[in-house]
Structures are given as C-alpha cells and as structure tokens.
Amino acid sequence: MFDKRERKIYIKNLLLDICIGWKLLLVLACCGAIICGALSYVKNTAKDDRLAYSRSFFTDMQLYNIERAVANYQMLTYYRHYNDKSVLVKQDFLGRERYNLQYFVSSQDLETDYADSLVSIYREYITNGSMAKDIIDELKLDIKQWQLNELIIYNQQAQNNINFDDSSTVITSNDQTISFEFILSDGLEAESVRKAISTVLDKKCESLQTISSHKLVKVNESFGVYDDFELTEKLFEHAHELANFEKYYYETTTGLSNDEKEYICQILEKEYDYDEQDLELARKLLGVKEESGRSLDVKSIVLGFLAGLFLGTLIIVIKILSSDKLYVADDMSSVYDLEVLGVVSGDRKKDAISRYFYAKKHKIKNRTKVVDRIATRIADECKIKNSDSVCFYSTCGDSAVISLICEKLKTLGIEAIYTDDLKVIATSKELVITECVGRSNYDDMASAVTLYRKNSIDIIGSVVVA
C-alpha cells in the first residue's frame, strides 16, 4: 500500500492550490460576512428592543439619574440652539436703535386685589413671549417667537417721576408701571414696531377689562442707541451660561453606567425630536462610542469575511493532505522512481484565474510542443533498445492525450498500443505509464508498477496529464 508520508508537499504548491480554489474561498468568505453581519444586526435589534422597554432593568435611583440627565440635556440643547440661532449673536447691534417705552397702569380700582394683579399680568405678557408672538402676527414677520422675544428687554427699575402730556409730574411706585425696550434688528422699522406694540397692548388692555376697568397711559417714549458695552455683556452672559451647563451636564453624567448612558441616548432618539447633530453631541458628552439601534456592525462583517477565508483555506489544505490521488507530476519520480517524460494539459474546463495558477503549479506549456517532445523521447528510447513498438498503460489516464502521442509516434515509425490487457503488456518490450493528476490513485499505481517490475517489463517512463 502507498504511504502518504512518501509524498513531498511544498509550500509553493500548497499556496497555488489555495489560489486555484479561489471560488470556494470567495463563496465561504461572503457567506461568513453575511452570517456575521446578520447576527450583529439581530443582536443590535434585540438590544434596541431591550432598551426601548428597559425601565424595569434599572433601580429607582438609576431612573432618577437617567431622567435628570435627559432633562439637563434638554436645557443644554436649548442653550446651544439659542447661542447658534440667536438674533443678538448673529447680528451686529453696535450703534443700532432701541425703542424705549414706559406705561402707567391707571385704574380706580388700583388699590384692590384685582387691580394689583394687572401690572403682574402685563409684565408676564411682555416677558414670556406672548407679546412677541402677537407682534409677529401683527407684522407678519418670518422670525421665531423666541428670537423676537430676546429683542424685548423688560426694565425692572423704572422711573418714578412720570411726565404726562400736560407737563405735570406724578410721583408713583414701580408697582404701577411697566417699562421695556425693543431693539431694532434687521428688517424691523421703528414706525412699524411702534404701531404694532401700541396695537397689541391696546388689545391686551381690552381683554383685561373684565378683571378691572383700567387703561394704559404711555408716560415715556424715546429712541436710544444700543452701545457696545451692553451687547458684549449680554453675549458674554449667553456664552457663560452655555459653558456652565455643559460642565454641569458632564459632572452629573460621569458616574453613570454604560447601560444607563445607552438608555439615555435611546430616550433622546425615540421620544424627542433631536437631529443627528444633537444626538451625536449627547453620545460624545456621555462617552458612548457606538450608536445603539438597528445597524450592521462593520467589524463583525470583516471578521466574518476573514473567518470564511480561513475556513476555505483549511478545507483546501485538509483535502490535499487527505487525498490519495496523484498530486503533482514529481510524485511519479519521487514515489515510484519513474522518469517523467512530460506534463500534458488535459481537457478540464477551468476559469481563466484557475487555469493560470494551475499552469504555474504543474509547469504546463504548449500542448502540441509537449506531445511532440514526449513522442520524440519515446522513439529515441525505442531505437536505443532496438524496439519498434511501445505499449501505453494507465490506471486513470486521458485517452485523448494518449491518442495524440500514438499518432505522433506512428509518424516516427514506432507502433504504439494503448491497452489495459496484462497479456498484451506482458508481451510488450517497452511500456509507458500515463496517469492523470487528481484522478489516478496512488495505491493502484503502486500495484501496477510493482507487478510490471516483477515481470521484468521495461518501463520507459511516465506521462502525466494535468
């Protein structure tokens, strides 16, 4: 029996075999990438579902910290958006006009509880953005309510000495006056703003008559200039508030676990209308590297691809090492001590890439020239041994290649016979063994060579079909 240890498998041939099997490698690599990518997607999907309903996974203290972090981030994004989109920040107000107004709330019931609330109602109306909304509707402005509201500055310290139109002076308390200024930004004219403010305040006064009969008396109206010091102070205040809140948010989320941080990101993404820039800022501040949710993990896909390549390579190597078929032509000489007369390309159908590496492995050259060279060598050997015929035998050869060699030998005056009849072979003076790579069995070849040598049959050499 043939012992596989007699074979010599060189690293170069092994690498060429791996290249020949590139289709298997590609299929397994793609399958590995698809499987690992699908698993990562399913894993992230399961993780996403777990996060969506994971309040039960956290303690009350953890939920408190999570809710506080979400609320703090809402305030942080408010400050950031305000700083990014603020009219005061975006425009240069140096030298801009500002419209100063002061009203006196005149009512006979000013001493009653109902009348006392009127001033507070007007102040709230001015400071909470309601007046800004009414001015936008009145002037049909294309501006956000909060952007216009920041142009309205309520003055806590109003003048106590109020001059009426008849030049008389009334000494009154701040509790009876409302005083504010309006900064004129781009697109806002002084006259249109003055009319709009007068209109919306008149409507507000009319709507409050049910609380107390009163009227608003304009006691001061002037235009000033917004100086550089005031603007710098206001912008510095915005920037300082933003920086402080970023620091506070970072300090309050530093001790959170990774699950808590991921759950915060999930809440911000699912329950609040934040854009990708805001969500990315949240992940950055929280230190969450990967975005939770349904996504394909590129790392898993690459690892799956590499795993497929490794598996394909392992299959090819195991197949070669465990095979009992003829591996390379050199085995005929190293294992059976038979001279290799030549290697002829067979009729196997292969793609261009496989053919290239296959030819490199088996050193295949032009088929016609190789057949001519083999036939010439056989004819020379027959003439040396005074023989005019030769017999071809194969355990699993390529009859088409043998026929070509036989036809060429006839032109050289040598009779060639292809047979597996042992009686015919026994009567033959010369013998050429023809075997095929990947098809001829080592044990069958060993039995045939041993039999012919015991019967003193002269074996000229071997022809290998690859």
Quick one: pLDDT at residue 135? 92
Q: Give CA–CA dist 11/17, Å, rounded.
A: 10
Q: What's phi and psi for 386, nearest 5 deg?
A: 55, 45
List pLDDT tens digits, range 235-275: 666 666 767 777 777 777 877 887 788 888 888 877 777 77
Question: Domain residues of the chain, as ranges?
Answer: 1-93+228-323, 95-226, 325-465
Q: What is the secondary structure of 51-102 as a DSSP string?
A: HHT-GGGS-HHHHHHHHHHHHHHHHHHHHHHHHHH-HHHHS--TT-EEEEEE
Kindly report the pTM of this predicted structure.
Answer: 0.44
CA dist list (Å): 424 to 379, 387, 389, 391, 427: 20, 15, 12, 8, 5
Structure tokens at 46: 């399961």
3-state SS class at 318: helix
Quick one: pLDDT at residue 165? 45
Residues 216, 103: contact at Cβ < 8 Å?
yes
Q: Where are the beta strands (DSSP E) in 174-302?
A: 177-183, 214-225
Q: Where are the beta strands (DSSP E) in 263-405?
A: 340-344, 389-393
Candidates 3.40.720, 3.40.50, 3.30.70, 2.60.40; correct CATH number of 95-226? 3.30.70
Quick one: pLDDT at residue 69? 86
Quick one: pLDDT at residue 167? 43
Structure tokens at 400: 């088409």
Quick one: pLDDT at residue 120? 85
Structure tokens at 435: 């075997």
Structure tokens at 237: 């205040």
Residue 88's nearest CA partner among 158, 182, 5 is 182
pLDDT < 50 stretches in the chain:
1-2, 4-5, 50-51, 53, 158-174, 291-293
Quick one: pLDDT at residue 293? 47
CATH node for 325-465? 3.40.50.300
Residues 329, 437: contact at Cβ < 8 Å?
yes
What percent of the chain has a predicted confidence (pLDDT) above 70? 79
Q: Give CA–CA dist 412/114, Å, rounded.
A: 132
Strands of the sheet with 340-344, listed across from one edge: 340-344, 458-465, 430-436, 389-393, 415-418
Query: How does strand 340-344 pair with strand 458-465?
Result: parallel
Task: Report CA 102 to chain centroid distance, whole Å.
Answer: 59
Quick one: pLDDT at residue 419? 83
Structure tokens at 301: 């896909």
Check residue 390 and give left, alpha or beta (phi > 0: left; psi -120 to 50: alpha): beta
Please, what sign has the CA dihedral across residues 351, 357, 362, 365? positive
